[in-house]
Amino acid sequence: MEERRSKRLHILNRLKSFIKREKARTIGIALGGGVVWGTAHIGVLEAISAEGIKIDAIAGTSAGSIVAALYAFGIDLDRIKSYAEKLSMSDIFKLRLPRMGLASTEGIGRLIREFIGDAKIEDADIPLYIPATDLTASEPHLFEKVSVADAVMASSAIPGIFVPVKMDGHTYVDGSLLADVPCQILKIKGIDFVIGVELIDKEKFKREPSNIFDVITKSIQVMVNETRMERLRFADVIITPDVHDIGQFDFDRIPLLIRRGKEAVSKHVEFIKSRAVAS
């Protein structure tokens, strides 16, 4: 009798240990780039939060790095949403005489500093990962122990549109070139379940570019698409907000983009809960 009781206790303790590990499963979200499309990430995060899904780490590239940075520092999503809905092109694009780009990323840096000052990446409430492309070393770069504003400016510097960002003897441009949806970073950092948010208009590839911004962004997307599926395989689920009828520079349609982000999550909520959230 005593031996059977001991075995039952042993099995019960193993079950408790297993349940504890399941509850400790970490969830990360990787936010892709897309200029104004990036505001759809606000809706995605709103919907995920409303479902009680806790994000343990966040990574963001280009426009995704802006939303990722604010979220990682605990900025209220309603406040981010209110700010985004008032954005105009002049807030972000500070035009200058072309040499290495049409505009400076200073407007982006100013936006970040308005919310969190000169905080460094390691000061975030949850782990924050911001990649960029290092033109000096011709390789991807993950920022650590630097100003969040500087990292976001570098990750958002679309070649040809924004002037590259120089730091510590290196020149950085848009992280989307080598990590458009930075899921792999989260897996490398030990996150168990990774949600990828991809902003892509597949129909756009069939349309003729109508301006210099279209030429640049479409050219980058063609290159990124060559290795897209290889990178997305690190995501456990991929959320793709509908952006097919919205231009990447349509600032007046930001409220719609946020709504589309929310709507996109609804298709995946049950799967995310079943795979990532212990009951």
Q: What is the mean pLDDT of residues 261-268?
A: 96
Crossing angle (nearest 10°) for helices 40-50 and 77-84: 160
Q: What is the mean pLDDT of residues 192-209?
A: 82
At residue 25, the pLDDT reads 87
At residue 70, the pLDDT reads 98
Q: Is a pLDDT exceeding 90 seen at residue 217?
A: no
Across the chain, mean pLDDT equals: 87
Read off the pLDDT of residues 119-164 as tens digits, 9 standing for 90 and up. Answer: 999 999 999 999 999 999 999 999 999 999 999 999 999 998 899 9
Q: What is the mean pLDDT of residues 188-210?
A: 84
Read off the pLDDT of residues 21-43 as tens digits, 9 standing for 90 and up. Answer: 455 589 999 999 999 999 999 99
At residue 4, the pLDDT reads 56
Q: Can you give the pTM of this predicted structure? A: 0.86
Q: In this predicted structure, which of 95-109, 120-134, 145-159, 249-263 has the lowest mean pLDDT? A: 95-109
At residue 214, the pLDDT reads 75
Confidence of residue 87 (pLDDT cuts 50, 70, 90): very high
Q: Is a pLDDT exceeding 60 seen at residue 10?
A: no
At residue 278, the pLDDT reads 53
Q: Is a pLDDT exceeding 90 seen at residue 221?
A: no
